[in-house]
Amino acid sequence: MTNWPSDFFNQHPAFSPIRRHLAQFSAPPDYATWQSIPTVAISEGGSPIRFVPSEQITEYYELAVYRDGMVATRLNWHDTFNAMIWHAFPRSKSALNAMHFRIINSNPAATIRGAARDAATLLDECGLILPYSDPKLLELVTQHQWHDLFVTQREQWGKSISAITFGHANFENLMAPFIGLTGKCWPIAVGADFFNLDIDAQCQQLDAILAQLIASDALQKPKQLPPLPYLGIPDWYAQQDDAFYCNTAYFRPKREKASA
């Protein structure tokens, strides 16, 4: 991480949720820079979130976040984007951490994970929030009707459905994209007027909804998060021609259930 591609961040639509936060920097942030940025998130344990070197932390990652607000942060793209998501979705990130803490606290062996923590990690790493106002578009997602979703209904993106990047690994992958990139999405029904809001207002609304869902233990297993081959989202990838969308090795059809 030696440069700061501001033009790329400003132009690629996937970075819109964190664009305002990226704009605070003109070079890759170091620890002194992070300390100068106002805290926007509080762990549910009551500690302000801080981005610190890993060697400052002596306990399990999620416990350090919950109890002390200390987020182990390496000076690389992956952890930098994680910090950006803490700024863009502070309530949801705190809720995810609290979810991990609750499970671990109830059973110390849960540090080995389990279905609920696996789902939380998938959302945290490669998740996309999928607000939609037309249930027919969500049906295309769940049925893997990718050509209809991305090509036939192309004009509906940003009007009746959208993908808001939440997983920080997605941002890292989009720096050097390759065919095969797939995220896990959490569909959230919204009113049609949602799409008239600017991106910061959209993120604020989704942050409140998602945090409440996580706090209520709505996320229990990875299968709740449908796959989304996100390079197909309009304007998220440069080579979106007919051959690209016909690649069924990437845009995979839904598997037929085996008959009894």
For the chain, 260 residues long, give each residue's pLDDT as a single digit of tens.
789 999 999 999 999 999 999 999 999 999 999 999 888 899 999 999 999 999 999 999 999 999 999 999 999 999 999 999 999 999 999 999 999 999 988 876 655 678 999 999 999 999 999 999 999 999 999 999 999 999 999 999 999 999 999 999 999 999 999 999 999 999 999 999 999 999 999 999 999 999 999 999 999 999 999 999 999 999 999 999 999 999 999 999 998 765 44
pLDDT given for residue 260 in this prediction: 45
pLDDT given for residue 1 in this prediction: 79
The pLDDT tens digits of the residues spanning 66-100 come to 999 999 999 999 999 999 999 999 999 999 999 99
Which two tokens mark 237? 């990838």
The dihedral sign for the CA sequence 206, 208, 214, 216: negative
Residue 5 has, within 13 A of its CA and on its CB side, a CA count of: 12
pLDDT given for residue 112 in this prediction: 64
Distance of CA 52 to the CA centre of its chain: 21
pLDDT given for residue 111 in this prediction: 58
The pLDDT tens digits of the residues spanning 17-59 come to 999 999 999 999 999 999 998 888 999 999 999 999 999 999 9
pLDDT given for residue 259 in this prediction: 47
| Residue 11 CB contacts under 8 Å (≥ 6 apart), including other chains | none
pLDDT given for residue 109 in this prediction: 61
Q: How far apart are the first and last CA of the chain?
A: 52
User: How many H-runs (helices) and E-runs (strands) does the chain carry?
Assistant: 12, 6
Three-class DSSP labels, 77-97: HHHHHHHHHHHHCHHHHHHHH
| Residue 15 CB contacts under 8 Å (≥ 6 apart), including other chains | 8, 9, 22, 165, 171, 174
Structural domain spans, the chain: 6-245
